[in-house]
Amino acid sequence: MKIKCPRCKKSADLSPDFSLVSCAECDLEMSYGEYVKYVAHNDVTYSDILGDYAGSAATQAGSTLDEWD
């Protein structure tokens, strides 16, 4: 599956089992979990969304977005 590379913004590949993200353009290679964290912390759009989610989840589970690291 093709997704947007968080580093160079070109097309990256997500493995069929959703375990690895790789980009041939900039040699990026990371797990999908690392990819989600990277995007969440480096893209304001996604950090706002995850912040909203963490806020509602924090009231249920007692955690914050910073604890996701």
Q: What is the pLDDT of residue 69?
A: 53
Phi-psi region of 62 (alpha: psi -120 to 50; beta: other; left: phi over 0): left
Q: Which domain holds residue 47?
A: 2-68
Query: What kind and span of H or E run contains 62?
Result: none
Q: What is the pLDDT of residues 17-58, one digit of tens each?
A: 999 999 999 999 999 989 988 888 887 776 666 665 555 544
* pTM value > 0.85: no
Domain count, the chain: 1
Report the distance separating Cα 28 and Cα 56, nearest Å.
Answer: 32
Residue with tokens 């900039």: 26
